[in-house]
Structure 1
Amino acid sequence: MTNNDIQEKIEQEREIARNACDASGANSKECAAAWDAVEELQAEASHQNEKKPKNSFENYCDDHPDAAECRVYDN
């Protein structure tokens, strides 16, 4: 799931949560559960943003794993 997909899903879940709270009341279990779903998606979006993008050398080694400069030796 890409970051844009997650953001769209967060907006959808927010709308669902608002509707659930309007229908069941702000202190209802349904309202709390709906907002929990929003929080879980926000946590996933945050986690995906933490991933460090690969640099040019890492991309090169992904494309050319047998290149001499990409070899890794275990001692």
Structure 2
Amino acid sequence: MSDINQEIEKARLEARAACDTAGSTSGECAAAWDALEEIQAEASHQREAKVEQKNSFQQYCDDNPEAAECRIYDD
């Protein structure tokens, strides 16, 4: 995960440099910030993939929500 964090920081520095050089309203500046946004989105997707790993029971309940074992009762 630190590799992607390094990529994010590098892209952020490049975006700032592009905006300082070409101006904040330039296409180059916008493209650099878009590239940074793409890298950040990928990092977010990778974090979600780690969190969303389900065990076999959770997967069973996702596939069979009507099963008795998977029922959720309100108090």
Aligned position for 2:7: 9
CA RMSD of aligned residues (A): 1.4
TM-score normalised by L of structure 2: 0.66
Count matched residues.
Answer: 54
Query: Which residue of 30, 33, 41 maps to 2:31?
Result: 33
2-side partners of 1:6 and 1:44: how far apart?
9
C-alpha distance in 1 between matches for 2:38 and 2:48: 16
Aligned CA distance change for structure 1 residues 9 and 26 (closer, same or farther; 3 Å): same
Query: Structure 1 CA distance, aligned partners of 2:34 and 2:4?
Result: 15
Q: State the match for 2:41 in structure 1.
A: 43
Identity %: 59
- 3-state DSSP of counterpart to 2:25: coil
Structure 2: which amino acid aligns with 1:45? A
SS at match of 1:21: helix
Distance 1:53 1:16 in 2: 34
Q: What TM-score does the superposition give when structure 1 sets the normalisation length?
A: 0.66
C-alpha deviation, 1:53, in angstroms: 4.3
Where structure 1 has 5 or more consecutive residues not aligned to the other structure, the ranges are 58-75
SS in 1 for 2:20: helix
Report the CA distance between 1:4 and its aligned residue.
1.2
